């Protein structure tokens, strides 16, 4: 099916994908804008997964100081090239991550950063709480699993919902940035300081 340039332009504006990709998506889905958008998203996530294997040693250290100077954040966000590190899109992503850290106070970048001893201590506490509430022994492990997932979502940066758009997590924003920018991006580490803590 032939698609018009206006349709291709509309899909490009909605998704940010390349013109040729938009044209192909519309042709494959007989001009159905919704199906073409979904196809482009899936293709973008597949590309992001491939890029995640590439080395990211360039980037920037983004510093955010909240008005009133009561909270400050330093976050290292890496990409593959210094060229990308200087782009507005990359800098905006790094700024949003720093802003989010200031407001949400995560403890770790991702689940793999949580020390095993901390996970075991959290599980033990969750088991005790479930037992104290009189939960049956066979249900306790399921309860602990659910609570542990919630604990990770609260304490790990990449699992937290973004403060400006709670429909997506920081991890989802990271994947979107990888797709949009075209390079692997990694949130390496951060430090958050709060007055009096």
pTM, whole model, 2 decimals? 0.69
Kindly indicate the confidence band of residue 9, based on its pLDDT and cuts at 50, 70 and 90. Answer: confident
Q: Which H, E and C letters describe 58-92, residue by residue?
A: EEEEEEEECCCCCEEEEEEEEECCHHHHCCHHHHH
Write down the CATH superfamily of domain 58-109+156-194: Elongation factor Ts, dimerisation domain (3.30.479.20)
| Rounded Cα–Cα distance for residues 61 and 83 (Å) | 15
Q: Where are the domains of the chain?
A: 5-51, 58-109+156-194, 115-155
From start to end of 7-162, where are the E strands?
58-65, 71-79, 161-162
What's the pLDDT tens digit per position in 93-149? 999 999 999 999 999 999 889 898 888 888 888 888 888 888 887 888 888 888 888
> What CA–CA distance (Å, rounded) separates 187 from 185?
7
pLDDT of residue 53: 63
Query: What CATH number labels 5-51?
Result: 1.10.8.10
Angle between helices 116-132 and 137-155 (to 10 degrees): 130
Q: What is the pLDDT of residues 33-84, one digit of tens each?
A: 888 877 777 666 555 555 556 667 899 999 999 999 999 999 999 998 889 9
115-155: CATH topology is GTP Cyclohydrolase I; Chain A, domain 1 (1.10.286)
């Amino acid at each position: 099916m032939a698609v018009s340039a206006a349709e291709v332009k509309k899909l490009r504006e909605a998704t940010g994908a390349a013109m040729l990709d938009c044209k192909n998506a519309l042709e494959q889905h007989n001009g159905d804008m919704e199906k073409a958008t979904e196809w482009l998203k899936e293709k973008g996530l597949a590309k992001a997964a491939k890029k995640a294997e590439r080395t990211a040693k360039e980037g920037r250290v983004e510093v955010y100081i909240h008005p009133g100077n009561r909270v400050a954040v330093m976050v290292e966000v890496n990409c593959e090239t210094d060229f990308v590190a200087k782009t507005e899109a990359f800098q905006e992503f790094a700024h949003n991550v720093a802003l989010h850290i200031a407001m949400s106070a995560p403890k770790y970048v991702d689940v793999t950063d949580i020390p095993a001893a901390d996970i075991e201590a959290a599980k033990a506490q969750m088991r005790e709480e479930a037992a104290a509430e009189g939960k049956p022994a066979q249900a306790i492990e399921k309860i602990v699993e659910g609570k542990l997932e919630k604990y990770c979502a609260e304490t790990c940066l990449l699992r937290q919902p973004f403060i400006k758009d709670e429909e997506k997590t920081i991890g989802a924003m990271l994947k979107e940035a990888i797709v949009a920018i075209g390079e692997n991006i990694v949130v390496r580490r951060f430090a958050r300081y709060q007055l009096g803590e």
